[in-house]
Structure 1
Amino acid sequence: MRTRTPAIRARAAEVLDRLPQDADWVQDFCMPYTVHVIADLLGVPDTDHDTITRWDTLLTSLATGAELTAETVTAYLDFTQEFTEYFRDRAAHLADHPDGSLLSHLIQEGDNLTDHERIQFLLILFPAGSTTTVILLTHIAMRLAAQPDVIAELRADPAARPDFIEECLVERSPSANVFRTTTRDVVLQNTPIPAGAHLLLLVAAANQDIPDRSAHLAFGHGVHRCLGAQLARTEARAALDELLARYGHIALRADPSSLPVRPHLLIPAYERLPIRLERPS
């Protein structure tokens, strides 16, 4: 991930430089930034990024509770065909012209993956790698707006920025809840739970009770630990660094309680976050 950090930071700078003073942090920064990073990771040419953004918007909508209608089903079927054809063509190109992208690595090293499995992996990667990071970046902006003194502290002490990001992860886990199935009988706080029980684990609540906050569960744990955790941290740090390099104050232009939240059991998220960005005096 260290080798990709300069490119990720350059993407953050590029999107931030396009922002007006009054912007929608979610729509104008978080979504295009995270989509660009995922597209870069897969080696997608810049000329195709608008297509990737359109796909990501559709996937995010379906994954977070879009109404299931004949139109949405048709849109999804059309998308999957277009998506599959695009990445099969990209895979064929990369098979003969490998590069440093994740897709190239999957082709060159993922001998055990079938073509279908590779496409299914990519279908999961887009919303998983974009939506959850958008949630983290949104909370970072809300924290900075709610605590103006923190901006000055972080601008003065870059070494404090990783801990700030971890605090934000604890306060607002990108995945609020997860489903799990027990593999054996267990007793938890005097409550018997049989093997094979289907559980909804409240990650966001659990993080508030962990004595050692460095051991938080925002990215899961053990075999269920998120493979993209380091990428999310790198994206957050790059965005924070570039944001602090440009601005000395962030203000919300709306009461958060009045803003629409996309309903979802696992990954509820703000659909927009109107902010004002002010240069340091």
Structure 2
Amino acid sequence: MLGLADARTRMTRRLVARATGGGPVDLSTLEAVPRRLLRPLRRTELDPVPRLGRTAPEPVHRLAHMFGMNIWLVSGHAEAKAVLADQASFSNDIRPYVGLAGSRVGGLGFTDPPEHTRLRSLLTPEFTMRRIERLTPWVEAIVDAQLDAMAADGPVVDLVERFAFPVPFLVICELLGLPVEDRERFRALSHARFDVTSGGSAAFGAISESQEFLLEATRRQRREPGDGLLGRVIAALGDDVSDEEIAGLADGVFTGGYETTASMLALGSLVLLRDRRHFDLVRDDDGAIDRVVEEMLRYLTVVQIAFPRFAKVDVDLFGHRIAKGDVVIAALSRADRDSRVGPDLDTFDPHRPPSPHLAFGHGFHRCVGAELARLELRTAFPRLVRRFPELALAVEPADLRFRDQSIVYAVDSLPVHLGRSSGTSRAS
């Protein structure tokens, strides 16, 4: 899930280079993304807009022909799964197209096998179900501490600032083993990388700074390994893994597990506040949270598009000829509303049979931290509504402002009245 805005801007500069007949260029200097390419990010509050301009929402259709090549949008569920799983026909590696800046692009999302396979194997042991389950008391303590802080700051607080962002931020910092004194410096770099309003220059600047920060942290851990993920990988593999590789992986873990989970916590809280039946279900039914979280993941699909795929060969994609070098974008938020999967998927219904979703992607690039995200959501929502059973929006819904040109969809702030506190942070 990391660096999607960065990938998008680099893709556009690749097109510019082809059109002008120039050689490789540094795509990070793009000052604006063409408006046509922003269409898959548009939403009305929590819902993707039903049409992309004048283009009918076919499962596979050409979004644009720009700079001498086609850009395809895949919005059907089955079609998106097929693209995401097809490593033979499509590549995620954008580094050849970003000039000297390509050396700064790390992590799983921008690599293909066998490099991807080797890098992912470094992270997989850190995200097994056994390891995740052992984190439960620690995640609970972080959530409870934030609820205590909210109660002290009330009666009106911004749920985004005081809850949705601090919880995953602290979880990921603890997981990586980042020193407390470094955390605020890194937090300031996180938001810009997913926002495409300023083109690639701002997003790529943020990703470069964050990776430089993590490279410094990795070098310190190389000298004195801690007990976090960085230290454990270094202790286990030593010189078999480079500082740059570790920093790239850590950057992916941070951005994939911070911004996305924070958005899910904020928008998921809004879902509960919009319909008291859902709020009460989470508060009163211990057995409901798993299906509530799965339906939230599907309904919200906060990561709106997957990493761009570059066609390595000519391929027939459900009746459409995709030429070698064309770009294919899977619109995950639209695929998870595909009416062919089930009825009424534009509504949030935690009582429906679980619907398969692509909120964590699919195939060999599926989010490695999916179970950690689920743990945070399943822990946070019941504790929130039980601690503050009278929680309510403090503004009119029409006054909320959403990030409608961001790869990770989000709400800027969520002011709430806390109401009566139950007096305890513990969910029981």
Give TM-score, length-normalised by structure 1: 0.85
Q: How many angstroms apart in 2 are the aligned matches of 1:204 and 1:250? A: 28
C-alpha deviation, 1:231, in angstroms: 0.9
The one-letter amino acid of 1:149's match is R
Q: 1:164 corresponds to which residue? A: 292
Classify 1:73/1:215 alpha carbon distance in 2 versus 1 (closer, same or farther; 3 Å): closer
Classify 1:53/1:214 alpha carbon distance in 2 versus 1 (closer, same or farther; 3 Å): farther
Structure having the higher Rg: 2
Classify 1:71/1:44 alpha carbon distance in 2 versus 1 (closer, same or farther; 3 Å): closer
1:222 corresponds to which of 349, 363, 370: 363
C-alpha deviation, 1:223, in angstroms: 0.7
1:250 corresponds to which of 381, 384, 391: 391
The answer as to whether partners of 2:403 and 2:409 remain within 8 angstroms in 1 is yes
Q: Which has the higher helix share?
A: 1
**What does 1:40-119 correspond to in 2, within 5 Å?**
40-45=174-179, 47-48=180-181, 51-65=182-196, 67=198, 81-94=212-225, 99=227, 101-110=228-237, 112-119=240-247
1:51-74 deviations in Å (ceiling 9; x for gaps): 313312223223324747999988
Q: Residue 199 of structure 1: SS of its match in structure 2?
A: strand
C-alpha deviation, 1:242, in angstroms: 1.6
The answer as to whether partners of 1:180 and 1:199 remain within 8 angstroms in 2 is yes
The one-letter amino acid of 1:157's match is D
* Alignment: residue pair count: 273
Q: How many angstroms apart in 2 are the aligned matches of 1:70 and 1:128? A: 21
Q: How many angstroms apart in 2 are the aligned matches of 1:2 and 1:93? A: 27
Answering whether residue 163 of structure 2 is matched by residue 29 of structure 1, we say: yes
Q: Residue 214 of structure 1: SS of its match in structure 2?
A: coil
Q: Residue 186 of structure 1: SS of its match in structure 2?
A: strand
1:200 corresponds to which of 320, 325, 329: 329
Q: 1:131 corresponds to which residue? A: 259
C-alpha deviation, 1:206, in angstroms: 0.6
Q: How many angstroms apart in 2 are the aligned matches of 1:124 and 1:227? A: 10
What is the identity percentage for the equivalent residue pairs of Structure 1 and Structure 2?
A: 27
Answering whether residue 417 of structure 2 is matched by residue 276 of structure 1, we say: yes
Q: How many angstroms apart in 2 are the aligned matches of 1:79 and 1:223? A: 25
Greater CA drift, 14-23 or 110-119: 110-119
C-alpha deviation, 1:76, in angstroms: 7.4
The one-letter amino acid of 1:17's match is D
Q: How many angstroms apart in 2 are the aligned matches of 1:242 and 1:231? A: 17
Gaps of 5+ in 2: 1-131, 343-352, 423-428
Q: 2:133 corresponds to which residue? A: 2
C-alpha deviation, 1:115, in angstroms: 0.9
1:126-166 deviations in Å (ceiling 9; x for gaps): 22211111111112111111111222222221111010011
Classify 1:149/1:54 alpha carbon distance in 2 versus 1 (closer, same or farther; 3 Å): same
**What does 1:7-26 correspond to in 2, within 5 Å?**
7-19=138-150, 20-26=154-160
The answer as to whether partners of 1:144 and 1:250 remain within 8 angstroms in 2 is no
Q: How many angstroms apart in 2 are the aligned matches of 1:230 and 1:248? A: 27
Gaps of 5+ in 1: none
Q: How many angstroms apart in 2 are the aligned matches of 1:192 and 1:127? A: 34
The answer as to whether partners of 2:402 and 2:410 remain within 8 angstroms in 1 is yes
Q: How many angstroms apart in 1 are the aligned matches of 2:234 and 2:399? A: 46
C-alpha deviation, 1:21, in angstroms: 2.7
Q: How many angstroms apart in 2 are the aligned matches of 1:196 and 1:71? A: 26
Q: Residue 159 of structure 1: SS of its match in structure 2?
A: coil
